[in-house]
Chains A and B, each alone.
Chain A
């Protein structure tokens, strides 16, 4: 059955009208509105409707709908139902909403709407929708009361000195934690809603005068082009808004600490808060952030310099030590001092498998142990360490299944990996690739592998900003914070690639006497 062009146009118009009917609440009658809402929330027993009238004027009929468990019953009773029932003020039907707002309801945050979508989104988030008979608009009243985790120190980012509070799962708490530290109108929070089903609230935070508007625009563009059913954690976004899709390296930073977020905002980055996640993303992401900790900036810079160096070395060790070991033991014997070579040879003599087979097996075992350690209940942690250290480590050596140096290499590799938790994904893959290159070609393979890795890292971009930030121009300012933490008096400028328009951070560094 074919339709001509005119019919199609009419069909479209009808469809739009129907959609409007579906989207909007256009009834004036309270009965019909409530019926429609009940129909929408059919088979949902947490959905509650409540009808009542004004004591003095029975023609004023009200209806409330809400979801059980999300609202604060005290506020609803005292500040909403009570004044609405007992108010003796004569309300004119024409301006009833304005008058209710200005004279009757004693709740601060109230929105007007006539869209069904709005109503659903808000009552499922702890608001109450107030219907008034004869009015085709609904008041959405903030009566939220959730049970949220308190603000505690994040387990993953514990520090020695410095602020200890951490984000929790409630967006507004998280925003308040940041807002409290940045008391300026320059701080902007912009809401977005993501996820067709979860309707998760996402908030972008930035400092207007510092942020690079190009990056902000790019971020908006990328976020707006996400159509997904649900966003449960920031990592959904991490993977959807990244520049290079297939790289294990991060292109967004994350933290659970408000002080870190404020530090990043002040450097011109944008924070992405997602309701329901205690983790906050920051973009753009520089490679050095893998090695940074907020504590670096709270401790003496001599010490911070040292600890950052250890973290950078740790990354190198954890990816390269197994490869170096295999290269030396299997290819370049002449590189080892003779006494050490003899000791290694004696140890190796007892092991039945070649080192190039032994090492990947034990690395895999270590990863199994580590993953078990994370997933299992903490009260059986001791059992795991006994199994790991005694059974697999000592017993394997004593039973002459593996050589002792391998255990040392694996342990060292495993421990150094913990220095850089943000790089855990690349570490696993890079390590094994370098290992196989090295086991096939010796140090030549290792060096080539490292060269490829370096080229890959050089090519990484985060929102158009080169992550390693060398870009052909080796400027001291660009690498200053990458290798070491400068004393505060010397950090007068922001990273120029993040805040090109406003690089001055500090105009005076105090006086010495």
Chain B
């Protein structure tokens, strides 16, 4: 044992001493939580939480995995999770929790700052945890609903959200780490996906339904599914989804364009105490449906369609901007962050009355659509 080795041994074992805690906990000694719903009792103002816990009972080994809902009350959120242990063999384990469903009333009335707080402080929680606003009477209804093609609601919701902006662009993927940043960063505002329950084949099932927008940590309104796409256009989060429109003014949508990529850039100018924004979108699409021109479409016609699609995008973006200005009176599109990132000094000046400034701001939208593929058939 030379000096060399001892030196390294000492170095290595210091690592042991300097690392945090480690506990031996077998996987059979934890209750795996996949989802959580948060409601509030109106009378006592206590939290009412429901946990979706995986049932690891051996008897259903061959069948599909089952989950159980554990319903608890507590003065604080952490309190509810500890109270759940009263009914369970093992302690709840949050490391694999994928989704937290928050009742709309809590989001509107109390704000979600206190809720986020626990999830940020707890060591087990993943940064990729998703928050969802429930439109139903209680958030638990969504968790208690039979998921359509997955046994676990928590995982289903996570997959719906994760793949959304590549396929439908109808809601927002906002995991915990981003949510926190959006809540506290300069000029940013928070948005969460909304879920509701709908009828499907005679049974109830859950469905995403647009985006809930926030003023600070309180929900002030929502964009429906069809508006959400344009919200995502502004925040440059569109990677897929469809654009449908009517090309010959007969009020029947006959064209479908499939978005394959989009890039949005936002620029501003500041003159005489007034902001002026220019939002430019560059969208690459495939022509997927066009009944009228099924044989071959001329270049001229393609140009025409591109123009119509551009107008569609511009029109709809302006529509939701108008909605935000008139109804919510809040910069829900995080335009303030563009100013902050480009000119922090200017932002410092306008920060305090940014809401007023936003209402005065003129926003121009310029859209460019490029049809790169029309499909081919004879």
A-to-B contact residues, CB < 8 Å: 329-331, 333-334, 338-339, 341-351, 354-356, 400, 439-442, 444-445, 448, 451-452, 455, 459
Residues facing A in B244-273 (CB within 8 A) are none
Which of B28-36, B282-290, B308-316, B367-375 is the contact stretch?
B28-36
Contact B65 A346 (CB under 8 A): yes
Contact A349 B124 (CB under 8 A): no
A-chain residues with CB within 8 Å of residue B299 when the two chains form the complex: none
B-to-A contact residues, CB < 8 Å: 4-5, 8-9, 12-13, 15-16, 19, 22-28, 30, 32, 34, 54, 56-58, 60-61, 65, 93, 95-96, 98, 124, 126, 152, 155
CA distance A350 to B57 in the complex (A): 8
Q: Of A338, A351, A445, which one neighbours B28 at CB under 8 angstroms?
A: A351
Q: Of B15, B34, B57, B58, which one neighbours A338 at CB under 8 angstroms?
A: B34
B-chain residues with CB within 8 Å of residue A343 when the two chains form the complex: 65
A-chain residues with CB within 8 Å of residue B152 when the two chains form the complex: 342
B-chain residues with CB within 8 Å of residue A459 when the two chains form the complex: 4-5
- Nearest CB of A to B104, in Å: 27
> With contacts A348-B27, A348-B28, A459-B4 known, what are 17 further pairs, Cβ within 8 A?
A330-B25, A333-B27, A333-B30, A334-B95, A345-B30, A345-B32, A345-B54, A349-B28, A349-B57, A355-B27, A441-B16, A444-B16, A448-B12, A451-B8, A452-B8, A452-B9, A455-B5
- Given contacts A342-B54, A342-B56, whether A330 and B27 have CB atoms under 8 Å apart is yes
B-chain residues with CB within 8 Å of residue A329 when the two chains form the complex: 26-27
Q: Of B9, B12, B19, B32, which one neighbours A342 at CB under 8 angstroms?
A: B32
B-chain residues with CB within 8 Å of residue A350 when the two chains form the complex: 58, 61
Contact B28 A339 (CB under 8 A): no
CA distance A459 to B4 in the complex (A): 10
- Given contacts A346-B61, A349-B56, A349-B58, whether A444 and B30 have CB atoms under 8 Å apart is no
A-chain residues with CB within 8 Å of residue B126 when the two chains form the complex: 334
Contact A331 B32 (CB under 8 A): no
- Nearest CB of A to B5, in Å: 7
Residue pairs across A and B with Cβ atoms less than 8 A apart, 11 shown, are A330-B26, A333-B27, A333-B95, A338-B32, A345-B54, A346-B61, A348-B28, A448-B12, A451-B12, A455-B5, A459-B4
B-chain residues with CB within 8 Å of residue A444 when the two chains form the complex: 15-16, 19, 22
Contact A354 B61 (CB under 8 A): no
Residue of B nearest to A355 (CB): B26
B-chain residues with CB within 8 Å of residue A348 when the two chains form the complex: 26-28, 56
Residue of A nearest to B95 (CB): A334
Contact A331 B5 (CB under 8 A): no
Which of B9, B12, B22, B23 counts the most chain A CB atoms within 10 A?
B22
CA distance A345 to B60 in the complex (A): 12
In the A-B complex, the 3 residue pairs with the smallest Cβ-Cβ separation, listed nearest first, are A334-B95, A348-B28, A338-B96
Contact A342 B65 (CB under 8 A): yes
Residue of A nearest to B94 (CB): A334
Contact B96 A341 (CB under 8 A): yes
- Nearest CB of A to B122, in Å: 12
- Nearest CB of A to B46, in Å: 29
- Nearest CB of A to B96, in Å: 4
- Nearest CB of A to B51, in Å: 15
Residue of A nearest to B124 (CB): A334
CA distance A344 to B28 in the complex (A): 8
Contact B61 A331 (CB under 8 A): no
CA distance A513 to B58 in the complex (A): 69
B-chain residues with CB within 8 Å of residue A341 when the two chains form the complex: 27, 32, 96
B-chain residues with CB within 8 Å of residue A345 when the two chains form the complex: 27-28, 30, 32, 54, 56
CA distance A439 to B25 in the complex (A): 10
- Given contacts A350-B58, A351-B28, whether A455 and B8 have CB atoms under 8 Å apart is yes
B-chain residues with CB within 8 Å of residue A354 when the two chains form the complex: 24, 26
- Nearest CB of B to A339, in Å: 7
CA distance A433 to B5 in the complex (A): 18
A-chain residues with CB within 8 Å of residue B54 when the two chains form the complex: 342, 345
CA distance A31 to B155 in the complex (A): 101
- Nearest CB of B to A22, in Å: 48
A-chain residues with CB within 8 Å of residue B25 when the two chains form the complex: 330-331, 333
Contact B5 A346 (CB under 8 A): no
Q: Of A330, A338, A342, which one neighbours B24 at CB under 8 angstroms?
A: A330
Residue of B nearest to A354 (CB): B26
Q: Of A338, A441, A442, A448, which one neighbours B98 at CB under 8 angstroms?
A: A338
Contact A339 B27 (CB under 8 A): no
Residue of A nearest to B67 (CB): A342
Residue of B nearest to A451 (CB): B12
A-chain residues with CB within 8 Å of residue B32 when the two chains form the complex: 338, 341-342, 345
B-chain residues with CB within 8 Å of residue A347 when the two chains form the complex: 61
CA distance A339 to B64 in the complex (A): 11
Contact A338 B155 (CB under 8 A): yes
Contact B28 A356 (CB under 8 A): no
Contact A356 B24 (CB under 8 A): yes
B-chain residues with CB within 8 Å of residue A338 when the two chains form the complex: 32, 34, 96, 98, 155
B-chain residues with CB within 8 Å of residue A331 when the two chains form the complex: 22-25
CA distance A136 to B82 in the complex (A): 102
Q: Of B12, B22, B58, which one neighbours A442 at CB under 8 angstroms?
A: B22
Contact A439 B30 (CB under 8 A): no
Which of A329, A341, A451 counts the most chain B CB atoms within 10 A?
A341
Contact A333 B93 (CB under 8 A): yes
Contact A344 B27 (CB under 8 A): yes
CA distance A440 to B26 in the complex (A): 12
Contact A346 B24 (CB under 8 A): no
CA distance A192 to B128 in the complex (A): 71
Residue of A nearest to B126 (CB): A334
A-chain residues with CB within 8 Å of residue B96 when the two chains form the complex: 333-334, 338, 341
Residue of B nearest to A445 (CB): B16
B-chain residues with CB within 8 Å of residue A334 when the two chains form the complex: 95-96, 124, 126
Residue of B nearest to A403 (CB): B28
B-chain residues with CB within 8 Å of residue A349 when the two chains form the complex: 28, 56-58
B-chain residues with CB within 8 Å of residue A455 when the two chains form the complex: 5, 8
Residue of A nearest to B57 (CB): A349
CA distance A333 to B95 in the complex (A): 7
Residue of A nearest to B24 (CB): A330
Which of B24, B30, B61, B65 counts the most chain A CB atoms within 10 A?
B24
- Nearest CB of A to B31, in Å: 9
B-chain residues with CB within 8 Å of residue A346 when the two chains form the complex: 56, 58, 60-61, 65
- Nearest CB of A to B18, in Å: 10
CA distance A27 to B324 in the complex (A): 125
A-chain residues with CB within 8 Å of residue B98 when the two chains form the complex: 338
B-chain residues with CB within 8 Å of residue A356 when the two chains form the complex: 24
A-chain residues with CB within 8 Å of residue B23 when the two chains form the complex: 331
- Nearest CB of A to B147, in Å: 14
CA distance A356 to B24 in the complex (A): 9
Residue of A nearest to B22 (CB): A442
- Nearest CB of A to B157, in Å: 12
Which of A329, A330, A342, A455 counts the most chain B CB atoms within 10 A?
A342
- Nearest CB of B to A185, in Å: 44
Which of B27, B30, B61 counts the most chain A CB atoms within 10 A?
B27
CA distance A444 to B61 in the complex (A): 33
- Nearest CB of B to A468, in Å: 15
CA distance A42 to B22 in the complex (A): 73
CA distance A345 to B54 in the complex (A): 9
